[in-house]
Amino acid sequence: MDFFKVEGLGISFGGLVALADINFQVEKGAIFAIIGPNGAGKTTLFNCINGIYKPNRGRIVFKDKAIQGKRPDRVAKMGIARTFQNIELFSHMSTMENLMAGRHNFMKTGLFRGSFMWGRRSFAGREEISHRRKVEEIIDLLDLQSVRNKFVGALPYGTQKQVELGRALALEPELLLLDEPCAGMNSEEKQDMIFWVKDIQDELGVTILLIEHDMKMVMDISERILVINFGRPIMEGGPEEVQKNPEVLKAYLGEDEVINDAA
């Protein structure tokens, strides 16, 4: 069974070709990175995968099922979760409440029915306890105990990125799309994020598809890397191959020194 693959993917907006002939395959349990300069089409690719955009051409296959064109909620229920480049949290809700919101795919009672089924012995009460237990596991994994009951809008930016990662994990994904998880973080926060991503892979067995501009992170944790520019693939390979490829260095222009520093 093919766990996840993209075949001949393309999408255009009017006369602008945003993606063309994108092909790659991700093995179950792997960390696969997609890199490229700003405007290369990386986030557009994620938007096609999780259903925000409907591609004009090609196929996206998850566990032998074509998912291109499906609604984001259907994609999420199939086992694909995502974080966003720009934080998309409920700022006036606590960390716990934001993580609980990530459990919505698993909630059976609904808000209306749950409001009439009070008490720990009711189905709604038992269900909430179960969801909270799962959320507590995520809080422990990401070391969010100290901000459990704090409004996320008042938290430091790096901590908000942790909460968003936790909310994606609350969906219990098999495939996790991380869109620049280290963006805006300081060096210490970036190192912590690297540890958490590896823990998610090793302890939870989650397959990770990663977009990231921090080349040290990409080279440290990725098994395979796809490089795209102007919506088209340049190459795919292991970290060492990518660092030495002259087309990759050319695409990054002045950013080639960043790649070399990660060696």
For residues 3 and 25, what is the distance between their CA atoms, to the nearest angstrom? 8
Mean pLDDT of 189-203: 93
Strand partners, 12: 17
Phi, psi of 72 (to 5 degrees): -55, -40
Domain ranges of the chain: 1-79+173-263, 92-170
* pLDDT of 68: 95
Among 90-94, 108-112, 146-150, 251-255, the range with the most confident prediction by mean pLDDT is 146-150
pLDDT surpassing 50 at residue 114: no
* Percentage with pLDDT > 90 across the chain: 67
Span 1-79+173-263 CATH architecture: 3-Layer(aba) Sandwich (3.40)
Mean pLDDT of 179-207: 92
In this structure, how many other beta carbons lie within 10 angstroms of the beta carbon of residue 24?
A: 19
For residues 257 and 240, what is the distance between their CA atoms, to the nearest angstrom? 15
pLDDT single digits (tens) 53-112: 999 999 999 999 999 999 999 999 999 999 988 887 888 999 999 998 888 766 555 544
pLDDT single digits (tens) 25-58: 999 999 999 999 988 999 999 999 999 999 999 9
Give the neighbor-by-neighbor strand order of the sheet with 224-229.
80-82, 175-179, 207-211, 31-35, 224-229, 232-237
Mean pLDDT of 214-224: 92
**Tokens standing for residue 244:** 């030495």
